[in-house]
Structure 1
Amino acid sequence: MALRLDERDLKILAVLQANGRITKTELAEKVNLSPTPCWERLRRLEESGIIEGYGARISLKILGSFSVIFMEAEINSHRASDFEKFENALQDIPEIAECWAVGGGIDYIVKFICKDVDTYQRLVDRLLHSDIGLRRYYSYVVTKPVKARAVPALELYEPNK
C-alpha cells in the first residue's frame, strides 16, 4: 500500500530537496512543526523509501572538462532475456549515469558522462563488440545544460490517490 502524504510531508520533501544539509531543528521550523513530530515524519519518509538517500550536487564544470552524451539504443531482439542481458551489461560501466527503457522506435535512452567524446566512443565500440545485442545507436552530445531540477514532488503528488 502506498504511503499517504499530506501537505507537511510534501513541504518536508521540498525543503530537503532545496537543502539536504538542513538540521532537523531547522527543518522543523521551516515546516512549522515541533521537532519530535517532524523527525517522526522524516523517519517515516526515509523508512518508506520515498527518501532514497542524501547526496551532494557536484559541479562537473568546476571539476574539469566533461562531455555529457545521450545515446538512443536499439537492441537486436526483444525477448525478455535480451533486455536483461543489455541492462545487466550497463550496470558496471561507471560512465553511464542513467538509463531508461522507453517505448517507441528505440529501446533505451542512456546518459553517459565521460572525460571526452573519444572516451565515449571507445565505450560504445566496446559495447558494439560485446555480445549484448546492441543493433543500432544514435549519439547526442550536450552542448549546454538548459534546465535541471529535482523531482517536483509538490507538483506531481495527488493526495487523493
Structure 2
Amino acid sequence: MSAKGSSVRLDRYDVQILSILAREGRITKSRLAEAINLSVSPCWERVRRLEQAGIITGYGAFINAAVLMPRTPVWVQIELEQHDLAHADRFEQLIMATPEVTECVGVGGGVDYLLKVEAESIDQYQRMIDNWLVGDSGIKRYHSYIVTKSIKQVASPLAFDTDVR
C-alpha cells in the first residue's frame, strides 16, 4: 500500500508500527520491535524511514490541562460576512494569533469555521468574542456551545486499507 501523497510503500510491519506509535509514543525500541516480530535494527530503520517520509511528524503527550489550570471549553460556529480569500485569510490570521483557540477547522454546510476555545472563564471568552466583533474580524454571525462534560477525547485512529501486504 502506498501512503496517500507519498511515494513510500507501506507493508504490514509499517502499518503495525504506525498503529502502535499512535497509541504508545513512548514505547521503547526493543518493545516496539518485539510487538511486530522484528529485530530492533530493522524495526528502527522502518521508523526512521517513516519519519523521513513525513508520515511520522512528531511525538507528544496528552496533557490534562484542567489539572494545571481550570479552563472553560467552548465550541463556536463562525459564519463570515464575505466568502473570499482575503476575508478568510484575515480571519485565519486572527485565529492563529489567539492562544485561547486550540482547534479551528473550515467546514461546509451553513457555517464557515468550527473552533474550540479554551478560556479561563465564560466572561473571558465573551470579552474575546466582543473584541473580535468590534475589530476587523469579518464575522457575520457566531454560535457558542459551552461544554458541560467531555464524553470522549482520544487521538485519531489510523484507518488503513485491508489489502496491506
TM-score, normalization by structure 2:
0.89
For 2:150 and 2:101, locate their aligned partners in 1 and report how far apart those are by CA, in whole Å: 18
2:160 is matched with 157
Tell me the SS of whatever aligns to 2:19.
Answer: helix
Q: Per-residue CA shift, 1:28-71, capped at 9, x if unaligned?
A: 11121111111111112212222221111111232232111100
For 2:67 and 2:14, locate their aligned partners in 1 and report how far apart those are by CA, in whole Å: 34
Q: Per-residue CA shift, 1:94-125, capped at 9, x if unaligned?
A: 11111000011000001111111111111111
- Does residue 136 (structure 1) correspond to residue 141 (structure 2)? The answer is yes
Unpaired runs of 5+ in structure 2? Answer: none
Q: What amino acid maps onto 1:18 in structure 2?
A: R
User: What's the % identity of the aligned pairs?
Assistant: 43
For 1:40 and 1:110, locate their aligned partners in 2 and report how far apart those are by CA, in whole Å: 38
- Does residue 60 (structure 1) correspond to residue 65 (structure 2)? The answer is yes
How many residues align? The count is: 159
Give how far 1:160 is off.
Answer: 5.2
- Does residue 111 (structure 1) correspond to residue 121 (structure 2)? The answer is no
For 1:10 and 1:116, locate their aligned partners in 2 and report how far apart those are by CA, in whole Å: 42
Give how far 1:127 is off.
Answer: 1.1
- Does residue 15 (structure 1) correspond to residue 20 (structure 2)? The answer is yes
Equivalent of residue 53 in structure 2, options 21, 24, 48:
48
1:69 is matched with 74
1:145 is matched with 150
Unpaired runs of 5+ in structure 1? Answer: none
Q: What amino acid maps onto 1:157 in structure 2?
A: F
- Is residue 5–residue 159 contact of structure 1 (8 Å, CA) maintained in 2? no
Q: What amino acid maps onto 1:151 in structure 2?
A: S
RMSD: 1.6
TM-score, normalization by structure 1:
0.91
